[in-house]
Amino acid sequence: MKKYSLYLIVLILLMACKEKRQELLNIKASVQLNDELKENPLLMHPLTSSVNPKESIMSTLYANDIAFDYAKKNLGSNYPNGAILYEVNWKEKPDELWFGANIPNEIISVEKITFKDANSSEYEVVEGTPLKKIKQDSALQNSRIDFITSQRIAFSP
């Protein structure tokens, strides 16, 4: 009898602890295989984040190793040769797990700046679903480069 009671208690505990399985990875907010990106910026070093509540857009600035090392030691925007910055922009959606919080939905655009030397950089942008390379006028490119390079690394304790 004691043996059956023990089995019953264990069974009840297991059933009580059983949780509804939830998706832990936000696939929609990730880079997809058919996107026109040579590398996944989400696997690089995040420098800083920002939110535009009026447009419901959240952004994160990512850096490769060269740009990350530069940003840790310098306040300027004269990134060295080989440095790459990615500004990834998402639409927001309400978080299902935390009331009042927002999380990234699908990627709207990815802006890439590749630094050739202190005076030269190359700007690219991909948009849409799937992400495809688009052309932008040079005035907009220059303003986006200035905005992206003006962002500073966010230090945490």
- SS3 state of residue 21: coil
Structural domain total, the chain: 1
- Domain for residue 21, yes or no? no
- Domain for residue 36, yes or no? no
pLDDT for position 36:
84
**Pairwise CA distance, residues 100 & 58, whole Å:** 15
Q: Kindly report the number of other CB atoms within 10 A of residue 149's CB atom.
A: 19
Asked if the model's pLDDT at residue 1 lies above 60, the reply is no
- Domain for residue 121, yes or no? yes
State what percent of residues in the chain have pLDDT above 70.
84
- Domain for residue 145, yes or no? yes
Longest distance between any two alpha carbons in the chain, whole Å = 83
- Domain for residue 15, yes or no? no
Asked if the model's pLDDT at residue 7 lies above 70, the reply is no
Question: Would you say 28 and 105 are in contact if contact means Cβ atoms under 8 Å apart?
Answer: yes
- Domain for residue 135, yes or no? yes
- Domain for residue 112, yes or no? yes
Asked if the model's pLDDT at residue 12 lies above 80, the reply is no
Quote the domain boundaries for residue 82: 43-157
Q: What is the pLDDT of residues 51-107, one digit of tens each?
A: 999 999 999 999 999 999 999 999 888 999 999 999 999 999 998 888 999 999 999
Indicate which CATH number applies to the domain containing 52.
3.50.70.20
pLDDT for position 118:
67
- Domain for residue 70, yes or no? yes
State what percent of residues in the chain have pLDDT above 90.
61
